[in-house]
Structure 1
Amino acid sequence: MRFLRLFFVVVLALLLVAIALANRGLVTLALFPANIGRYLGGEYSVELPLFLVILVSIAFGMLAGLIWEWLREAHIRREASARRAEVARLESEVGHLRERHAAPTDDVLAILDEPSTKPAQPAAARPVAPSDAAAGLPAPR
């Protein structure tokens, strides 16, 4: 992937250098149409190489398109932000509901759910009744 990116950058750089070398001639870039600048108090024009005019106009067009799309998609970003806030609020509410409803409300269930304070005896340490062992029944718990 890095090779493809490097290849693309090199081709683009060579293309830009070729455009710059082929369009080195000077052009006059005027702010106002002919003779109107004279009435406004001066000649508002500058002479630049043609490749510079081409590259600056491409960059200006890309910047204008970027700003246009950013403004066009503002309502989408606003809606996404509102939905993110709503999802966070609902997740918080679900968490609070889980905490509130996780505890048993019945006293009998609360007693049954409490861990016992004395440790459980291992199965080997408990005495086995002879009648249960003879019958093949499991040891009592």
Structure 2
Amino acid sequence: SDERLEFLSDEDAINQLEHLFNQIGPTPILLILDDVWPGSESLIEKFKFDIPDYKIMVTSRTAFPRFNSKYNLEPLDHEDAMSLFRHHSAYLQDESSYIPDEYIEKVLFYCVKLCYSTMLDTCSPNREGLYSTDQVVSRQIETWDY
């Protein structure tokens, strides 16, 4: 079915999430907030609920000193990235799909380039009248040679 959840506001969505977690009961819950940007500590705070066995895991490119636990993860090396991509793509299909290494190499090459150029643009000031992220990324992609 094409059922969509409707929320009155962001606060309503967070309240309904907490209500859902309470309904789940005594089962341990792990909420993952992925790619949280610097300065978003208040967002993380909104998801702190007083529920037994409830944990929040935040992934970010920067540390949030206000929170007590952090684990620094190094980027995957080339071989591990290739292996993860192969494993995940096989899992999504029929577990026996074969993707030539040259295609995986191209995907990884462009993913790294795209992420890097987007990150650079996001970190730079973007005042009215300057360029959009889409413009910067598309210009960057045009310059890539593989």
Structure of higher CA gyration radius:
1
Q: Shorter-chain TM-score category?
A: under 0.3
Q: Given the two structures, how large is their TM-score scaled by the length of structure 2? A: 0.22
Higher RCO (CA < 8 A, seq sep 6+): 2
